[in-house]
């Protein structure tokens, strides 16, 4: 388990911090994670270190198993933290429940919560609206509006047909695909990942899906913010490369740590820091979470993987290189 | 030509010649250095844009994009071209100089750098290529030359900037020359002509035997020495006389000698100073304040309608924009008779001071006006001051003019007004370009206050009389009962001023702005009017004097004016507008002198020519009042071109009407014979 090491890593940073006047003990934050510690968590932790705010981070990872949520909730209640940090859309839905009808027995309702790496929190009923969450929960979004992503994709390479694949069990992916349809109309080919007998997505179906996308005449393969696909990002992007199909993704890992061609992304690290900024408003300034709007970063990075561009012989337009970040 | 006039003429000519040479040389040098400074500036600009453009392309190459694989080039180069105004083209060539992508207008003779050209260590390869400055930045792939980014700046931009500079220099040169002439004329008149005239008058009185008179002792320079010397002479003569009288009284033949001396004393007058021969201001002395006053007033001519339009709130307030011009001219018309009264009662000096006060207040008000209504009021106050000052100067010129030269002296009045107008319009436009409209009104106010000081120091008080004047209404009726006068007023004087007010002062600045001209360029164009009018006044007077057919000149001028305003029918607006301004200037200049010259012919019987002249002026003011709102209404109805055509037709029709009336009259005169 990596958790003690993470806690240790945080400690030196905290040791440097000069405790704020009147703060008798560090703020206690329980971090409930969906798939382990990653860059967003780094950003969240480093923000406090940089601001010299003493915090005690208690990290709990469910390892993508939502069945472990009730135990974590029970433990959190026992710890009685000052704030709870929840990572990911599916986990946020499971931990918090709908904003207008949470079940106090199953959902966490007793503590202020910030969420991070969540897609469409309003559509997923985590909060009432962006401006007024309607409950002591606030947080950040990390996905650029779908329309903006589609335009960014067209700026690299104009298209009439785009295919997208996703885990049909993930509501965040479904929400993005729906918005794609609304914006592009009939030009979208939906290729959901096949489910096995247990209703779980089957990674073996990925190469076939990419081939199907190519056959459908797609000029791009769009990858929504999807945890299953993230876990199999190498298989997905390498299949696309074999089919000479460029991938455009909504989150950075498909480009940064796989073979995806491009993406309009918020850097996870920055989104994590932004989430910590909201946490600071709650902890230090005493603001009620329900008064803090749910926001997204206003600047996104246009990420381009040059090696993939070279292998596809699909180079970015020169104008795009003025603003793009390359990996 | 009298000696003093010849003196003034030659001194002014010499000064103007020297000044022209000096200013011409300085301007030429300035323009050369301007060009020398601007050229590297343009090259630097092309190099900077090129290096920015090359950076991204170089980054693409460094990231492994092959030169042939560069995409989205046209879009990128177009964006680059738009970053800086005045770029002629941006284009990309390969290492062999072949054009790969381009944006903008590269000239047909564009040639890329020849294959094998070595990339510079830093910066760009710059060269003059046809009519463009070209800066080429190298692109390297794997350390080898892959291509060039060329940025071109059209030389036309430099030429335009230089052209503008030349115009400004020319305008300033012209204004300096005209102003120098006015100042020199004033100074020479004060220091040479007036003292000489005084000495001549003194000499005449002494010659007539009046030895009680003295020259004023407060004249400076050489003339002062002559005056003092003369006074010493007169005093010595008086002393001698006293001594002679004493010796006669003391002599043995006292009775006889006293009788002889009494007889001489009866013919000659001796004694202590009883009178001082006045220096006299000289006719020319009123020209400088008048010139300066008109200069101050005309500073705002080129932008008055623009400022009014801005205050009235955009293009919706076209009629409102004409209001300040109309109130100004209306105030001038209404205040003219009143100004005449003041001059008659208190004399020119006091009247000028009375007129300067509202003018200064008016300029200040115009500078501060928050809306078009208060601006119109301020302009009206200015107008009242303008009326009083101009009439005061006119009367002063008439009073000071030597006998038999009243007409020429009044010609000097027109010349001073026109010179002031030309200089004021041109300098006003330059000032407005640099200081803004409001501060330019402030400059007008300062100049007007300066004139007050000048008048206070240089003009002799007095000159007024309490004599009652003839009834205004009665003489007006008598004047207009004379058909030749009525025809002159209705068919020539009023239409001319409607055109002046409607076209030159209102429509032309607005239309010129529509063409996208800068404020200085608008001023230059409007200035053409006065520039053409000045020589035309002389030519018109000469023709009328030689031919004795002033009426025909007036009619021909009307036809010329009409034809000028109809130029948009045949020519593009950027040529037609200055053409129409020139035609209006020439036409109005040609008609100016004949119109005045006709008056003494007509004015026989009940009405004096002075009264008729004032009614002619009043009628002209009426035309000027009507002109701007009429033009504004036409503009609101149909647009600038149509307005010009309608004004042109009006001028043609009235001119033909005037010619027919002349023919009819001469036919009637010949019939009885």
Residue predicted with more confidence, B597 or A280: A280
The full 3-state SS of A274-324, as one line of letters, equals HHHHHHHHHHCCCCCHHHCCCEECCCCEEEECHHHHHHHCCCCEHHHHCCC
C-alpha distances (whole Å) from A26 to each of A7, A54, B223 are 14, 5, 101
The DSSP line for A34-66 is SS---HHHHHHHHHHHHTT--EEEEEEE-TT-G
In this predicted structure, which of A102-106, A305-309, B92-96, B249-253 has the lowest mean pLDDT?
B249-253
Of A306, A313, A319, the CB nearest to B63: A306
- Given the DSSP bridges, would you call strands B144-154 and B213-214 parallel, antiparallel or unpaired? unpaired
Separation of alpha carbons A67 and B426, rounded Å: 87
Strand order across the beta sheet in which A188-192 lies: A188-192, A162-166, A220-223, A247-249, A262-265, A301-304, A325-326
Residues of chain B with pLDDT > 90, as a percent, come to 8
Question: Residue A316's pLDDT is what?
Answer: 92
* CB within 8 Å: A319 and B60: no
Amino acid B632: pLDDT: 86
Does B63 contact chain A (CB < 8 Å)? yes
Residue A163: strand, helix, or coil: strand
Cα of A314 to nearest chain B Cα, Å: 8
- Residue B6 in this model has a pLDDT that exceeds 50: yes
| Test the A interface: residue of B58, B64, B72 with most A CBs within 10 Å | B72
Minimal Cα distance from B55: which residue of A?
A322
Angle at B256 between CA B254 and CA B261, to 5 degrees: 90
- Chain A contact for B79 (CB, 8 A cutoff): yes
Closest approach of A29 to chain B, Cα-based (Å): 43
pLDDT tens string A98-133: 999 999 999 999 899 999 998 888 888 999 999 999
d(Cα B122, Cα B580) in Å, to the nearest integer? 55
Q: What share of chain A is helix, strand, coil (3-state, %, to 5)?
A: 40, 20, 40
Per-residue pLDDT for B673 more than 80? no
Which residue would you say has higher pLDDT here, A264 or B545? A264
Domain pair A3-142+268-296 / A146-265+301-326, same fold: yes
Interchain CB distance below 8 Å, A318 and B64:
no
The pLDDT tens digits for A132-183 are 999 999 999 888 889 999 999 999 999 999 999 999 988 778 888 988 988 8
Pairing of strands A113-118, A83-87: parallel
Q: Which of residues A305 and B37 earns the better pLDDT score?
A: A305
Question: Is the Cβ pair B57, A318 closer than 8 Å?
Answer: yes
Question: If contacts are CB pairs under 8 Å, which of residues 100-139 in chain B contact chain A?
Answer: none
Minimum Cα–Cα distance from B72: chain A residue = A317
Greater pLDDT, B185 or B512: B512
Q: Give the whole-angstrom CA distance, residue B353 versus residue B343.
A: 11
pLDDT higher than 90, residue B518: no
Q: How far apart are CA B297 and CA B416, in angstroms?
A: 13
Q: What is the mean pLDDT of chain A?
A: 88
Per-residue pLDDT tens over the stretch B616-649: 777 887 888 788 888 888 888 888 888 888 989 9
CB contact under 8 A, A318 and B56: yes
Summarize pLDDT for B243-289 with one digit per residue, the tens.
Answer: 888 887 777 777 777 778 777 777 777 766 666 666 655 556 677 88
- What is the nearest CA distance from B86 to chain A, expressed in angstroms? 21
Residue B445: closest CA among B357, B332, B324, B336: B357
Q: What top-level class would CATH report for the domain A146-265+301-326?
A: alpha beta
| C-alpha span between A236 and A241 (Å, rounded) | 9
Higher pLDDT, B82 or A249: A249
Does B95 contact chain A (CB < 8 Å)?
Answer: no
Element (H, E) at B513: helix B508-514
Task: Sort out which chain B residues have CB atoms less than 8 A from A317's CB and list them.
Answer: 71-72, 75-76
- Choose among A159, A312, A254, A249: nearest CA to B64: A312
pLDDT over 70 (residue B119): yes
The pLDDT of residue B468 is above 70: no
At B161-206, the pLDDT tens digits run 777 777 777 777 777 777 787 788 777 777 777 777 778 888 888 8
The model carries a pTM of 0.53
Most confident of A189-198, B191-200, B451-460: A189-198
Which residues lie closer than 8 Å to B28 by C-beta, 6 or more apart?
none
Q: Does B71 touch chain A (CB under 8 A)?
A: yes
Find the residue in A nearest to B75 (Cα): A319
Q: Domains of chain B, with CATH numbers?
A: 3-17+192-276 (no CATH), 27-159 (3.30.450.20), 283-467 (1.20.1250.20), 470-673 (1.20.1250.20)
Residue A216: count other Cβ atoms within 10 Å of its Cβ: 12
Contacts of B116 (CB under 8 A, 6+ apart): none
What pLDDT sits at residue B600? 66
Percentages of chain B per state (helix, strand, coil), in multiples of 5: 75, 5, 15
Burial of residue B161 (number of CB atoms within 10 Å: 0-12, 13-18, 19+)? middle
**Residue length, chain B?**
673
How confident is the model at residue A21, as a pLDDT?
Answer: 47
Lookup: tokens for B450: 């300066």
Distance from CA of A315 to the nearest CA of B (A): 6
- Would you call A81 helix, strand, or coil by DSSP? coil
User: Distance between CA B558 and CA B649 in Å, rounded?
Assistant: 10
Which residue in B394, B227, B366, B246 sits closest to B307, CA to CA? B366
Report the run of H or E that residue A87 belongs to, with start and end.
strand A83-87
Say yes or no to pLDDT of A221 above 90: yes
Sign of the torsion formed by the C-alpha atoms of B612, B615, B619 and B620? positive
- Which site among A261, A308, A318, A327 would you substitute to test the B interface, given the most B Cβ atoms closer than 10 Å to its Cβ? A318
Quickly count: other Cβ atoms within 10 Å of residue A288's Cβ: 12
When CB atoms are compared, the residue of A306, A318, A326 closest to B72 is A318
pLDDT of residue A76: 94
CA–CA min distance A244, chain B (Å): 17
pLDDT digits (tens, 9 = 90+) for B361-411: 999 999 998 888 889 999 999 999 998 888 787 777 766 655 545 555 666
B72 with A313: Cβ contact below 8 A: no
**Residue B89 CB-density burial (10 A; 0-12 exposed, 13-18 middle, 19+ buried):** buried
- Give the mean pLDDT of B336-347: 74
Q: Quick check: helix, strand or coil at residue A20?
A: coil
Contact B634/B472 with Cβ under 8 angstroms?
Answer: no
Work out the burial of residue B246: count CB atoms within 10 Å of its CB; fewer than 13 is exposed, 13-18 middle, 19 or more buried.
exposed
> What token pair was written down for A125?
């009923």
User: Is 60 exceeded by the pLDDT of residue B464?
Assistant: no
Rounded Cα–Cα distance for residues A237 and B574 (Å): 64
Dmax (CA) for chain A in angstroms is 65
Helix (H, G, I), strand (E, B) or coil at B186: helix
Tell whether B326 lies on the interface with A, counting CB pairs under 8 A.
Answer: no
pLDDT of residue A24 exceeding 70:
no
Q: The domain A3-142+268-296: what is its CATH number?
A: 3.40.50.2300
Q: Touching check for B80 and chain A: CB below 8 Å?
A: no
Query: Model confidence at B532, in pLDDT bands (50, 70, 90)?
Result: confident
Residue A319 to residue B59, Cβ atoms within 8 A? no
What are the φ/ψ torsions at residue A317 (nearest 5 degrees)? -60, 145
CA distance B111 to chain A (A): 24
Within 8 A of B68 by CB-CB distance, chain A residues are none
Q: How many pairs of residues across A and B have Cβ atoms under 8 Å apart? A: 40
Q: Which DSSP string corresponds to A176-221?
A: HHHHHHHHHGGGEEEEEPPB-TTS-B-GGGHHHHHHHHHHTT-SEE
How is chain A split into domains, by residue range?
Answer: 3-142+268-296, 146-265+301-326
Q: Is B59 on the interface with A (CB under 8 A)?
A: yes
- pLDDT recorded at residue A18: 44
- 3-class secondary structure, A144: coil
Contacts of B60 in chain A (CB under 8 A): 315-316, 318, 321
- Nearest residue of A to residue B80 by CA position? A319
Interface ipTM above 0.85: no
- Per-residue tokens: B248: 């006669």
CA-CA distance, B94 to B488, in Å (whole number)?
A: 76
Lowest mean pLDDT among B216-225, B439-448, B486-495: B216-225
Query: Cα–Cα distance between A232 and A193 in angstroms, integer?
Result: 11
Residue B203 touches chain A, beta carbons under 8 Å: no
pLDDT at A82 over 60: yes
Residue B103 has pLDDT above 90, yes or no: no
Q: What is the average pLDDT across B91-97? A: 88
- A321–B59 CB contact, under 8 Å: yes
Count other C-beta atoms under 10 Å from residue A182's C-beta.
11
Which of A306, A320, A326 faces B72 most closely, judged by CB atoms? Answer: A320
- C-alpha to C-alpha distance for B579 and B564, rounded to whole angstroms: 7
Strands (E), B53-178: 87-94, 99-104, 125-129, 132-141, 144-154
Which residues does chain A have within 8 Å of residue B79's beta carbon, measured at their own beta carbons? 319
Which residue do the tokens 């003391």 mark?
B250
- B75 touches A at CB < 8 Å: yes
DSSP E strands, B180-259: 213-214
Inspect the interface and report whether the beta carbons of A318 and B79 lie closer than 8 Å: no
Q: Would you state the pLDDT for residue A81?
A: 95
Taking only the tens place, the pLDDT of each residue in B430-439 is: 888 888 889 9
Q: Is the pLDDT of residue B672 over 70?
A: no
List, for residues B30-51, the tens digit of each pLDDT value.
777 877 777 777 778 888 888 8
| Smallest Cα distance from A318 to chain B, Å | 6
Q: Are strands A301-304 and A325-326 parallel, antiparallel or unpaired?
A: parallel
CA distances from A220 to A26, A217, A314 (A): 48, 9, 12
In the predicted structure, residue B313 carries a pLDDT above the cut 50: yes
pLDDT of residue B166: 75
**How many angstroms separate the CA of residue A306 from the nearest CA in chain B?**
7
Question: Which among B372, B416, B429 has a CA at the least distance from the CA of B172?
Answer: B429
pLDDT confidence bin for A1, thresholds 50/70/90: very low
Given a contact cutoff of 8 angstroms between Cβ atoms, the answer to whether B331 and B361 are in contact is no
Q: Strand pairing of A325-326 and A137-141?
A: unpaired
Q: Kindly state the percentage of chain A with pLDDT values over 70.
A: 93
In angstroms, rounded to a whole number, what is the distance separating the alpha carbons of residues B388 and B290?
A: 11
Of the pLDDT bands very low, low, confident and very high (cuts 50, 70, 90), residue A13 is very low
B60 touches chain A (CB under 8 A): yes
Which residue is listed with tokens 């929190």? A121
**Is the pLDDT score of B522 beyond 70?**
yes
């Amino acid at each position: 388990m990596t958790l003690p090491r993470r806690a240790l890593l945080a400690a030196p940073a905290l040791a440097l911090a000069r405790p704020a006047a009147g703060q008798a003990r560090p703020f206690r934050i329980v971090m409930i994670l969906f798939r382990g510690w990653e860059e967003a968590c780094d950003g969240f932790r480093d923000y406090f270190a940089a601001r010299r705010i003493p915090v005690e981070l208690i990290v709990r990872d469910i390892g993508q198993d939502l069945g472990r949520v009730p135990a974590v909730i029970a433990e959190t209640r026992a710890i009685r933290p000052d704030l709870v940090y929840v990572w990911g859309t599916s986990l946020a839905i499971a931990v918090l429940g709908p904003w207008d009808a949470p079940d106090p027995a199953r959902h966490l309702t007793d503590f202020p919560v910030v969420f991070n790496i969540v897609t469409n929190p309003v559509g997923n009923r985590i909060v009432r609206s962006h401006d007024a969450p309607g409950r002591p929960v606030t947080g950040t979004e990390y996905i650029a509006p779908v329309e903006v992503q589609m335009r960014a994709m067209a700026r690299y390479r104009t298209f009439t047909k785009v295919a997208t694949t996703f885990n049909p069990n993930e509501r965040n992916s479904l929400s993005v695909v729906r918005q794609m349809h609304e914006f592009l109309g009939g030009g979208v080919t939906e290729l959901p990942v096949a489910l096995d007998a247990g209703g779980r997505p089957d990674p073996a179906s990925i190469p076939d899906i990419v081939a199907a996308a190519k056959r459908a005449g797609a000029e791009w393969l769009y990858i929504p913010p999807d945890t299953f696909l993230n876990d199999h990002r190498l298989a997905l992007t390498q299949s696309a490369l074999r089919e000479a199909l460029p991938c455009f993704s909504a989150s950075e890992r498909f480009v940064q740590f796989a073979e995806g061609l491009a993406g309009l992304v918020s850097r996870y690290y920055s989104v994590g820091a932004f989430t910590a900024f909201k946490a600071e408003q709650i902890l230090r300034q005493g603001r009620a979470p329900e008064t803090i709007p749910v926001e997204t970063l206003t600047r996104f990075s246009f990420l381009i993987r040059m090696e993939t561009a070279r292998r596809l012989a699909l180079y970015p337009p020169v104008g795009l290189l003025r603003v793009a970040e390359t990996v | 030509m009298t000696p003093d006039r010849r003196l003034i003429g030659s001194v002014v000519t010499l000064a103007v010649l020297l000044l022209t040479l000096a200013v011409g040389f300085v301007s030429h040098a300035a323009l050369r250095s301007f060009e020398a400074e601007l050229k590297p500036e343009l090259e630097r600009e092309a190099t900077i844009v090129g290096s920015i453009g090359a950076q991204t392309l170089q980054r693409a190459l460094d990231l492994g994009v092959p030169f042939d694989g560069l995409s989205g080039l046209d879009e990128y180069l177009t964006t680059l071209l738009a970053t800086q105004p005045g770029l002629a083209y941006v284009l990309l060539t390969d290492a062999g100089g072949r054009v790969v992508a381009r944006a903008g207008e590269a000239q047909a003779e564009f040639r890329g750098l020849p294959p094998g050209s070595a990339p510079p260590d830093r910066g760009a390869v710059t060269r003059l290529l046809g009519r463009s400055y070209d800066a080429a930045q190298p692109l390297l792939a794997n350390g080898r030359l892959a291509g060039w980014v060329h940025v071109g700046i059209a030389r036309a931009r430099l030429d335009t900037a230089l052209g503008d500079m030349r115009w400004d220099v020319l305008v300033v040169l012209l204004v300096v020359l005209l102003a120098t002439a006015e100042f020199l004329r004033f100074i020479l008149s004060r220091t040479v002509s007036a003292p000489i005239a005084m000495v001549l008058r003194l000499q005449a009185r002494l010659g007539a035997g009046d030895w009680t008179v003295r020259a004023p002792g407060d004249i400076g320079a050489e003339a002062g020495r002559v005056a003092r010397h003369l006074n010493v002479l007169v005093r010595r003569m008086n002393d001698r006389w006293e001594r002679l009288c004493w010796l006669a009284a003391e002599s043995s033949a006292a009775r006889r000698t006293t009788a002889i001396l009494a007889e001489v004393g009866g013919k000659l007058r001796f004694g202590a100073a009883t009178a001082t021969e006045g220096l006299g201001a000289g006719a020319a002395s009123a020209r400088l304040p008048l010139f300066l006053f008109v200069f101050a007033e005309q500073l705002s001519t080129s932008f008055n309608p623009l400022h009014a339009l801005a205050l009235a709130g955009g293009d919706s307030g076209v009629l409102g924009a004409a209001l300040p011009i109309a109130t100004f001219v209306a105030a001038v018309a209404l205040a003219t008779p009143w100004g005449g009264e003041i001059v008659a009662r208190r004399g020119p000096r006091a009247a000028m001071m009375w007129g300067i006060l509202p003018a200064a207040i008016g300029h200040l008000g115009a500078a501060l006006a928050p809306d078009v209504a208060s601006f119109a009021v301020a302009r009206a106050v200015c107008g009242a001051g303008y009326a009083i000052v101009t009439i005061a100067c006119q009367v002063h010129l008439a009073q000071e003019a030597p006998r038999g030269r009243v007409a020429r002296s009044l010609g000097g009045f027109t010349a001073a007004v026109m010179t002031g107008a030309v200089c004021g319009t041109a300098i006003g436009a330059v000032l407005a370009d640099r200081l803004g409209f409001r501060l330019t009104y402030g400059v007008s106010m300062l100049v007007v206050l300066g004139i007050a000081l000048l008048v206070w120091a240089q003009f002799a008080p007095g000159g007024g009389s309490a004599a009652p004047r003839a009834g205004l209404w009665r003489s007006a009726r008598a004047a207009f009962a004379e058909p030749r006068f009525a025809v002159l007023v209705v068919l020539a004087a009023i239409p001319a001023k409607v055109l002046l007010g409607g076209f030159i002062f209102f429509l032309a600045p607005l239309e010129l702005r529509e063409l996208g001209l800068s404020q200085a360029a608008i001023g230059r164009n409007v200035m053409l009017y006065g520039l053409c009018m000045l020589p035309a006044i002389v030519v018109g007077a000469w023709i009328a004097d030689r031919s004795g057919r002033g009426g025909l000149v007036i009619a021909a001028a009307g036809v010329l004016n009409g034809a000028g305003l109809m130029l948009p029918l045949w020519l593009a607006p950027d040529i037609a507008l200055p053409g129409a301004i020139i035609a209006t200037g020439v036409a109005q200049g040609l008609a100016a002198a004949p119109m005045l010259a006709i008056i003494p012919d007509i004015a026989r019987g009940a009405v004096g020519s002075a009264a008729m002249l004032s009614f002619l002026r009043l009628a002209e003011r009426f035309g000027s009042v009507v002109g701007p709102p009429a033009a504004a209404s036409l503009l609101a109805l149909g647009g600038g071109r149509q307005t010009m055509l309608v004004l042109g037709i009006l001028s043609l029709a009235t001119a033909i009407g005037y010619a027919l009336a002349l023919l009819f009259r001469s036919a009637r005169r010949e019939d009885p014979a």
